Amino acid sequence: MLDFTNNKQMATTYIRRTDGRRAPQGSRSNFGGSNGGGSRSGGDRGRSYDNNSRGGSSFGGGRSRGNGGGSRSGGGKRGHQEMDVDLSKLINKAKPQEDVPAYVPDVAFADFAIDDQLKQNIIAKGYLHPTPIQDKAIPFVLNGEDIVGMANTGTGKTAAFLIPLIDKVLKDRTERVLIMVPTRELAIQIEEEFYGFAKRLQINAVTCVGGAGIEPQMRGLRRNPNFVIGTPGRLKDLMERRTLSLGGFNTVVLDEADRMLDMGFINDMREIMSTMPTPRHTLFFTATLSRDIEALIGGFLHNPARVSVKTRDTAQTIDQDVVRVRSQDKLAKLLDMLADAKEFDKVLVFGRTKHGVERLTNDLNRAGIPSESIHGDKTQGRRQKALGLFKQNHVRVLVATDVAARGLDISGVSHVINFDLPATYEDYTHRIGRTGRAGKTGKALTFIGE
């Protein structure tokens, strides 16, 4: 039996303006720096970026690129930085669901002043009552106001901007929206959500990411879609090819802006935004606030409303514990765990390097444990195939680098196993956030060297 230490943290919901009085905020836990590590993925002229590129990655100050297109995430010495370990932050007993007060929204989706067919599509997706971020953010977006939304992963923020922006386009078919995100997987997830909400509304979207053929994306852009969803590197590429011009885009969403900053996209973001009209309607979503993020907010937005429904650094519905193991025994320990197929029935394993992830996947398959991998060396098609096999339970284990930690909506993950430590505590929280979703209890285990 694993020994857990209960860890109580409080949720906070507040709204304020940049020119208004600041409401209290909880403190933010951070290990290994707030802007450490991360990968650049998403399409820079077909190059693949990951936090594990050949030649190593660097975390900290300036900018470094390893051989063969390594990660952009700061300078300093080469090698892979692991977060400083405070074991008390990696051990937590999930809080019983009945102990978590139910959120009571101000309105139902039916009460929003949006298109009737859009309302029907929302209901058809099973959405009746808004989540906190949707409840608080949608009215500001419908009113055409800039907004800073701060929310944890899995809180429904995609719908918080898609629903009001789809309604905006329905009211003016000439309106065009750019949605900029850090990773390919998040872009594809947003596109899937978009078409669920936009069914029978005769509006369309094009997703522009690396690791996928650029020609189909160029053909899609020539049809002047109302929504363009993309990663900064591929968007810049398309702009340089003169296939994408943002002069007609009056609305922009920066989703997971903190991650884009961590991944070294700041200059790309600024360059892309500089080609858009001003004034414009800007929506900015982030899981964390730092000085660098505040600087972006000041440069990109005008008098934004601020909505925060950030609850805590670690999910209440996740049992967390550490597993002490010698480095040479890690594989044997993992195989021993996965032998219990009844308990470990859908497992996401995180490794640090793409080569290590591929090696581990091969080891698991040789041991008779059906596994797939996703990392920066794989094309978008192969990554999507691996994710599909995992989602549909054709394989029991998905081994991934941190490219998979954000933006993936995978239901029913029983366990997250940190085979290797991430670079920062924020990366840790995003990793384990893949389990314990939709009111279910998840489990997260972290291997720690003896």
pLDDT in tens, 52-67: 333 333 323 333 333 3
411 pLDDT more than 70: yes
Predicted confidence at residue 169, as pLDDT, reads 98
Q: Which residue has the higher pLDDT, 10 or 277?
A: 277
Q: Which residue has the higher pLDDT, 5 or 215?
A: 215
Residue 225 backbone phi and psi in degrees, to 5: -65, 155
Predicted confidence at residue 99, as pLDDT, reads 55
Cβ-based burial of 248 (10 A; exposed 0-12, middle 13-18, buried ≥19): exposed
Quote the CA–CA distance of 416 and 334 in Å, as a whole number.
12
Predicted confidence at residue 78, as pLDDT, reads 38
Strands (E), 205-313: 205-208, 227-230, 251-254, 281-286, 305-308
79 pLDDT more than 90: no
**291: which residues sit within 8 A by CB, 6+ positions away?**
none
Q: Which amino acid is at 166?
A: I
Domain ranges of the chain: 31-100+316-450, 109-308
Residue 207 backbone phi and psi in degrees, to 5: -105, 130
Q: What is the mean pLDDT of the chain?
A: 80
Predicted confidence at residue 165, as pLDDT, reads 98
Predicted confidence at residue 6, as pLDDT, reads 38
Quote the CA–CA distance of 429 and 427 in Å, as a whole number.
6
Quick check: 129 and 108 in contact, CB under 8 A? yes
Structure tokens at 33: 């720096």
- Taken in order 396, 397, 403, 408, is the CA torsion positive or negative? positive
**84: which residues sit within 8 A by CB, 6+ positions away?**
31, 32
Alpha helices in 8-80 (DSSP H): none
Predicted confidence at residue 5, as pLDDT, reads 38
Quote the CA–CA distance of 19 and 366 in Å, as a whole number.
60
According to CATH, the superfamily of the domain at 31-100+316-450 is P-loop containing nucleotide triphosphate hydrolases (3.40.50.300)
Taking the domain 109-308, which CATH number applies?
Answer: 3.40.50.300
For the residues 184-210, what does the mean pLDDT come to?
94
Predicted confidence at residue 36, as pLDDT, reads 37
pLDDT digits (tens, 9 = 90+) for 271-295: 999 999 999 999 999 988 888 889 9
Residue 393: band (very low, low, confident or very high) from pLDDT cuts 50, 70, 90: very high
Predicted confidence at residue 404, as pLDDT, reads 61
Quote the CA–CA distance of 393 and 389 in Å, as a whole number.
6
Residue 426: band (very low, low, confident or very high) from pLDDT cuts 50, 70, 90: confident
For the residues 324-333, what does the mean pLDDT come to?
94
Q: How far is residue 167 from each of residues 25, 143, 191, 198, 319, measured CA to CA in Å?
A: 32, 11, 16, 9, 40
Q: Which residue has the higher pLDDT, 432 or 161?
A: 161
Which of 205-209, 262-266, 345-349 comes out lowest in average pLDDT?
Answer: 262-266
Among 166, 253, 231, CA closest to 205:
166
Asked whether the domain spanning 109-308 has the same topology as the one spanning 31-100+316-450, the reply is: yes
pLDDT digits (tens, 9 = 90+) for 151-160: 876 788 999 9
Count of CA atoms in the C-beta half-sphere (13 A) of 193: 22
Q: What is the dihedral of CA 269, 170, 135, 430, to 10 degrees?
A: -40
Predicted confidence at residue 49, as pLDDT, reads 36
